[in-house]
Amino acid sequence: MKLPHVAIVGATGAVGVEMLLCLEQRNFQLSELTLLASSRSAGKKMTFRGKEIMVKELGHDSFAGIDIAMFSAGGGISLEFVKSATAAGAVVIDNSSTFRMDADVPLVVPEINPEAVKNRPRGIIANPNCTTIISLMALAPLHEKFGLESVIASSYQAVSGSGAQGIIELEEQVRAIANGQEFTPRVYPRQIAFNVIPQVDAFTDNGYTKEEMKMLHEGRKILAHPALKVSCTCVRVPVYRSHSVSITAKFSREPSVGEARAAYLGKPGIHVVDDPAKMMFPVPLDTTGKDDCLVGRIRKNLVLDHALDLWVVGDQVRKGAALNAVQIAEIL
């Protein structure tokens, strides 16, 4: 079997760096690795399997001989360069939201719908939104067992979801407050240190943000469940890394807590941590830098029939972005 020539577009960004790490840690078999970025990053050297690789400037002629191109440089870059990649014969795995809802582009979480990878008429496979991935890792096994009807969710999203500048802003604000200094928020509309902000992404006409609507639209597509109902509130919290989601899920048949916990047995990428009497439940630090999502606080909802409440946590840079893309590449 011919080993693929792989390219990472946006190799020096947070997700690109994590993609490189995932390829190495998972011993991904490839013949050659090309690292692409903007002119500002071209010439930098990155290490892969003990060897230095020079980052090249991204251009429309960068994809000759590339078999798999993983894009992690933002929607504008994807819009401009994905066609050049597919025209050169590469299969594109795109981490932006640009193509996610296109009918002829599969939207894939490998643990949930790996078969969707096969139907890619445009040579593009979309990586879902990070909060959607983490939520569905907990919901898909329950949907399989009980039949998911609706979801009410609140996310608690780390500042690294805004990139390196989100982390820098949190650090600067904490330092300024500790030293009694004034500061002006730049990345976020309000102070993020010692605070939470109920806005992730831009607001739409219906009062929900784009991030909140992604869980509805992407969830329906990934689960092949067009009747799924979702209402979501996404909140930015002063945590460096890993997103948490509080979920109320309603099903077509009555679930028990024991059956729900058993539904996760043997499911890849998701583990139950749920013993409140011993203070055992998932927190962001438990998943930071880790592949798997954790689910806990599983209990019967006290308002709705046929409903469970649960809490799921996952590293949004890793499973929510880079790892999921590498897993798709492994399927290819």
**How far is 31 from 121, CA to CA, in rounded Å?**
25
pLDDT of residue 223: 98
Catalytic residue among 130, 232, 234, 293: 130
Confidence of residue 128 (pLDDT cuts 50, 70, 90): very high
Helix boundaries (H) for the chain: 14-25, 75-87, 130-146, 164-178, 210-222, 257-263, 284-287, 323-331
Each residue's pLDDT tens digit, 9-67: 999 999 999 999 999 999 999 999 999 999 999 999 999 999 999 999 999 999 999 99
On the question of a common fold for 5-128+322-331 and 131-316, the answer reads: no
Classify residue 220 as exposed, middle or buried by CB count within 10 Å of its CB (0-12, 13-18, 19+).
Answer: middle
Average pLDDT over residues 297-324: 97
Q: What confidence score (pLDDT) does residue 48 get?
A: 97
Q: Which residues pair with 52 in a beta bridge?
A: 47
Q: How confident is the model at residue 158 (pLDDT cuts 50, 70, 90)?
A: very high
Residues 255-309 have pLDDT tens digits of 999 999 999 999 999 999 999 999 999 999 999 999 999 999 999 999 999 999 9
> How high is the pLDDT of residue 164?
85
> What distances in angstroms separate CA 11 from CA 43, 80, 293, one per listed residue?
12, 17, 25
Q: Which of the four pLDDT bands, split at 50, 70 and 90, describes residue 330? A: very high
pLDDT at 163: 86
Tell me the whole-structure pTM to 2 decimals.
0.95
What's the pLDDT score for residue 242? 97
CB 325 within 8 A of CB 332: no
How far apart are the C-alpha atoms of 68 and 308, rounded to whole Å? 40
For 290, how many CA atoms within 13 A lie in the half-sphere containing its CB?
18
The mean pLDDT of the chain is: 97
Compute the half-sphere exposure of residue 209: CA atoms within 13 Å on the CB side of its CA.
15
- The residue-averaged pLDDT of 114-133 equals 97
130 is catalytic: yes
- The sheet that has 5-9: what strands, in order across it? 56-57, 32-37, 5-9, 68-71, 91-94, 124-126
The per-residue DSSP string of 81-133 comes to HHHHHHHTTPEEEE-SSSSTT-TTS-B--TTT-GGGGG--TTSEEEPPPHHHH
Question: Among residues 5, 143, 243, 271, which one is catalytic?
Answer: 243
**Domain range summary for the chain, segments of one domain joined by +:** 5-128+322-331, 131-316
Instruction: Please check the confidence at residue 1 and state whether its pLDDT lies above 90.
Output: no
pLDDT band at 96 (very low <50, low <70, confident <90, very high): very high
Using DSSP's 3-state secondary structure scheme, residue 259 falls into helix
CATH of the domain spanning 5-128+322-331: 3.40.50.720
CATH class entry, domain 131-316: alpha beta
In 3D space, the residue among 308, 287, 306 whose CA is nearest the CA of residue 297 turns out to be 308
- The residues, ordered by sequence, that sit 6+ positions from 166 with a Cβ below 8 Å of its Cβ are 159, 160, 187, 188, 192
Residue-level pLDDT at 252: 98
**In this predicted structure, what is the pLDDT of residue 154?**
98
From the list 222, 287, 282, 248, the residue with the least C-alpha distance to 154 is 248
β 51-54/91-94 pair status: unpaired
Residue with tokens 């802003």: 169
CA distance 332 to 316: 23
- Tens of pLDDT, residue by residue over 206-243, are 999 999 999 999 999 999 999 999 999 999 999 999 99
Instruction: Give, in degrees to the nearest 5, the angle at Cα 234 between 164 and 221.
Output: 100
